[in-house]
Structure 1
């Protein structure tokens, strides 16, 4: 609408399990593991984490042992996401939420894993290696022709990579999936050279109550979006991204003639937690 052009970069189609931006963020860590002669990966995430499943799949494909510290006490029945990760060979360890916030590795982990041969991959792939991998997203055909690139933001790793690879004058906008996470800008800047610090632009008004929270309005939008475009989304990240893009466009944020690229970062694992029939896809 309003004289602008919009397209979706379907990174969700790259791989059924190593989906979207996870494919790119993990590349840096996989290269690091190879360079350092590591034979295993240890990472962190929640019960419905796209990153956990992607790491398990990448390790299985490359012959690397994988393990993960999962936020919260061990449930009676693990989520389908964790069951799938375990089926791929990932060893799961559970941590109290207090311990998880400190990113403490439970002692029993090192009774089963060798620290010297295990590479630690931060939650969501956050870090210089993850951002360097995310720069590869900009190799997509036609990237430079877009005036704006919008992406959902969790840890900020992908946003940092997009900014590092952005063309001159290209505006990169992050849509925070978390409520009042105003430390996010600093986390992104920590992965950027000083010359790019002033270009960090994160919108905080589209969280729908916080991380992994949703409302009837968001679910209705996701279903309508799918009817109109055929593009599936999730309520944790990409649903909020598409809602934000639509709202910003209707509010006149983008000048006539703007060309907007929406980054589908893949990973629909969170949708598996919804009651059957909530979504039409």
Structure 2
């Protein structure tokens, strides 16, 4: 891991990333809008399979069996493997349903949205061993795997006072070492969530040193070191202070002006003084992303 000061990148370097984020945002917005349409239709007809069949063409002709899933009984906050990382959020939200047949609001998952419907409920009770056996076994397996990972992480640190030693120790255990260039405050490591603990430890380490303890992020234990540090150029920073101040002021002015224009725009649309040609907007967007525009006009 190399820790460097933040630098503004030219548009050419970040264009692909911007296009990717625009595409993802558009997909999320479209998924949320479709989920709202499905929820509205469910409130009208109360028939999951019928609504699933109606909306299947908009979802790539998914079979109804893949769109309508039935869970077993679960408690609020319980992890449901079929829902991945967002399982506890789903079970918590779904547990707020009270009446049989009640349909809940859309719930965000890693691969889209889910709309829960309560089909049965039972009062809390002490379950039999057979009812919880699979869940208990799975939980114990996860706990043992986590403990083995923690112990291995601690052994690697004990064997690795330096980054170079860490590379050798990892190779001996057939583990892959990944390098993150330009790590800065507020960033995160690929494939992992952002960790304030990791960030704080990284900026407290000297170059070539390994962190004194592993950092747990989700279900992973991270062992890391700082290969190189690039401290900010104080003299250059001082010389740029006036320019930085002017950029900040300009940004605030732009934000205020954009807010004013947006308010004015909404008012003029409401008054019928502006017409938005969505087909033109979609055509422009498609040239950036390579996607086909959806024709619409209002």
Shared fold, TM over 0.5: no
TM-score by length of 1: 0.21
Query: Could you say which structure has the greater relative contact order, defined with CA pairs below 8 angstroms and 6 or more residues apart?
Result: 1
- Considering only CA atoms, is the larger Rg found in Structure 1 or Structure 2? 2
TM-score by length of 2: 0.20
Q: Which one has the bigger strand percentage?
A: 1
Q: Which one has the bigger helix percentage?
A: 2
